[in-house]
A and B are shown apart, each in its own frame.
Chain A
Amino acid sequence: MIEVRNIDKSFGPLEVLKQVSITIEDEETLAIIGRSGSGKSVLMKHLMGLITPDRGEVIVDGVDINAVSYGELRQLRRKFGMLFQGGALFDSMSVFDNLAFPLRTFSELSEEEITAKVEENLKEVQLEGVEDKNPAELSGGMKKRVALARAIALTPQYIIYDEPTSGLDPETSNTINDLIRSLSSRSNVTSIVVTHDMHSVLTIADRAAFIHDCDIHWVGTIEEMHRADDPTLSAFVRASEYQVGAPDRTASP
């Protein structure tokens, strides 16, 4: 369980998060939604201590991650797998070495076992035969899938997805959404998806937290979101055509 308690964060004069609190329950899939630049990614980076809050606490499984030593924080981060927006694959390494990197660094597996595990992880994201390629030779969707395979290499308890479908065509987006859904359904996996793609939210999330004006403006289940009469949330959700189906373009103005 991750508890975010009253965190404030500013970058110079720019206030990004103000008194933000949220609890992420075990085994749920939470979508953090909001406009671009609303502070979604900043909140997400707080969850694993990549950004330190100015005030407030982040508690992961009972441990205040900003109060422990750097060594303990690193230990704690191994519970997480993170899919970065651009994939963040190491471009000095082949796809195989990217996937083998966390295993070589943190596990006691032999090279043969690592090879088998890498192949298994690639199969999981429906990619095969790309082991020898460099990240630069892959398409956007393939990069995301390789990055996803790397994120799950150490079977993390928490998987964080930063804009998993942004910049992808609808078909590839669906593939990624299906992958996220199948990973989330595993036992003991908690997923946090930062996105502004409402189609993703409706497909994969159990709950959504809407960030607006430096704060979590609204939080609730997807069913509650449909019924919510909050005008700011409704405006954001309505802007996505998936809420009510495709807009009627035949109607005259």
Chain B
Amino acid sequence: MLDRRFLAPIEALGQYVLLLTKAFQSLNEVSIYRKNLFKQMVAIGIESIPIVALAGLFSGAVLTVQTAYQLESPFIPQSIIGSIVVPSMVLELGAVVTGFILAGRVGARIAAELGTMRVTEQIDALEAMGLNSIGYLIVPRVLAGVFMFPVLYITATGVGIAGGVGVAHYGDFLSAGEFVAGARQFFSPFDPMFGLLKAFVFGFIITSVACYKGYYTGGGAEGVGRSTTEAAVLSCVYILFANLALAILIL
């Protein structure tokens, strides 16, 4: 007989896929989740803007300072700093920094919320009333993640680039004009598209993993703690894998 340690992850994957299938089937019951969707878009998206912008700002600023440090040579034009910082933010940092921050902020919140609802029988209560609990709880959260993560990615990247320009200009590394000129020199319109795609995928991963962990919580307060931690940690791990997979497949 196969060891349970090998079977458990396969069982979990099956349960996750089934949950998402049920969620997908509930998509046409718009009236169940419409009201919650806007609430979740605010909680997941709008309320995350400050922390995501802050993380983006510092990422862009640090990246600029460190790139300037590495490329300090009379033979290299300073505008190259802009050519490196902007695509790095657009392709990688904007999406990944947003993803990691939101795995903690959004993933943990969703898992704790649904986990508590599960252990206090609130999910059973929804079902007992004759409501589709997956449509009511999971669909709006995953949709809000998928809709709002690209917005947050744009925020993080935009603020990050602005942070880079600001630090370059006021730190006397290069002028804002040189920075922008460097950025435009190697700009490819495909880059932001790829970043948006990543944000979309990360949004889906974080919210769906957190919903799965929360929805199937068992074992009281300790179970809620475990689900919350697992949701945040697993989302981060899956983001790393998805990030590599997307880069290999698409770039």
> Is B185 in contact with chain A by the CB < 8 A criterion?
no
Q: If A86-B120, A88-B120 touch, does A74 touch B125 (CB 8 Å cutoff)?
A: no
Please report the C-alpha to C-alpha distance between residue A78 and residue B121 in the assembled complex, in whole angstroms.
18
Please report the C-alpha to C-alpha distance between residue A190 and residue B127 in the assembled complex, in whole angstroms.
20
Sorting the interface of chain B by its residue count into under 10, 10 to 19, 20 to 34 or 35 or more gives: 10 to 19
Q: For chain B residues 184-224, which have a beta carbon within 8 Å of chain A? A: none
Q: For chain B residues 116-142, which have a beta carbon within 8 Å of chain A? A: 116-117, 120-122, 124-125, 127-132
The residues of A that contact B131 with a CB separation of less than 8 Å are 74, 105
- In the complex, the chain B residue whose C-beta lies closest to that of A70 is B132
The 3 closest A-B pairs by CB, nearest first: A88-B125, A77-B130, A88-B121
Quote the shortest CB–CB distance from B30 to chain A (angstroms). 14
Quote the shortest CB–CB distance from B12 to chain A (angstroms). 15
Q: For chain B residues 78-134, which have a beta carbon within 8 Å of chain A? A: 116-117, 120-122, 124-125, 127-132
**6 additional A-B residue pairs with CB within 8 Å, beyond A75-B130, A84-B125, A105-B131:** A74-B130, A84-B128, A88-B125, A91-B120, A91-B122, A106-B129
Quote the shortest CB–CB distance from B239 to chain A (angstroms). 28
Footprint of B on A, CB under 8 Å?
45, 48, 50, 70, 74-78, 80, 82, 84-86, 88-91, 101-102, 105-106, 154
Q: If A84-B121, A86-B121 touch, does A50 touch B129 (CB 8 Å cutoff)?
A: no
Flag if A84 contacts B124 (CB, 8 Å): yes
Footprint of A on B, CB under 8 Å?
116-117, 120-122, 124-125, 127-132
Please report the C-alpha to C-alpha distance between residue A141 and residue B130 in the assembled complex, in whole angstroms.
25
The residues of A that contact B124 with a CB separation of less than 8 Å are 45, 50, 84, 88
Flag if A77 contacts B122 (CB, 8 Å): no
Please report the C-alpha to C-alpha distance between residue A50 and residue B122 in the assembled complex, in whole angstroms.
13
Flag if A77 contacts B121 (CB, 8 Å): no
The residues of B that contact A50 with a CB separation of less than 8 Å are 124, 127-128
Flag if A77 contacts B128 (CB, 8 Å): yes
The residues of B that contact A82 with a CB separation of less than 8 Å are 125, 128
B129 in complex: contacting residue of A78, A85, A86, CB < 8 Å: A78
- In the complex, the chain B residue whose C-beta lies closest to that of A77 is B130
Flag if B128 contacts A48 (CB, 8 Å): yes
Flag if B121 contacts A85 (CB, 8 Å): yes
- In the complex, the chain A residue whose C-beta lies closest to that of B124 is A50
The residues of B that contact A106 with a CB separation of less than 8 Å are 129-130
Please report the C-alpha to C-alpha distance between residue A89 and residue B120 in the assembled complex, in whole angstroms.
9
Please report the C-alpha to C-alpha distance between residue A89 and residue B116 in the assembled complex, in whole angstroms.
12
- In the complex, the chain A residue whose C-beta lies closest to that of B129 is A102
The residues of B that contact A45 with a CB separation of less than 8 Å are 124
- In the complex, the chain A residue whose C-beta lies closest to that of B39 is A92
Flag if B122 contacts A80 (CB, 8 Å): no
Quote the shortest CB–CB distance from A138 to chain B (angstroms). 14
By CB atoms of chain A within 10 A, which of B117, B127, B129, B131 has the most? B129
* 24 interchain pairs, CB-CB under 8 A: A45-B124, A50-B128, A70-B132, A74-B132, A75-B130, A76-B130, A77-B127, A77-B130, A78-B129, A78-B130, A82-B125, A84-B121, A84-B124, A84-B128, A85-B121, A88-B120, A88-B121, A88-B122, A90-B117, A90-B125, A91-B116, A91-B120, A91-B122, A106-B130
Quote the shortest CB–CB distance from A63 to chain B (angstroms). 14
The residues of B that contact A70 with a CB separation of less than 8 Å are 132
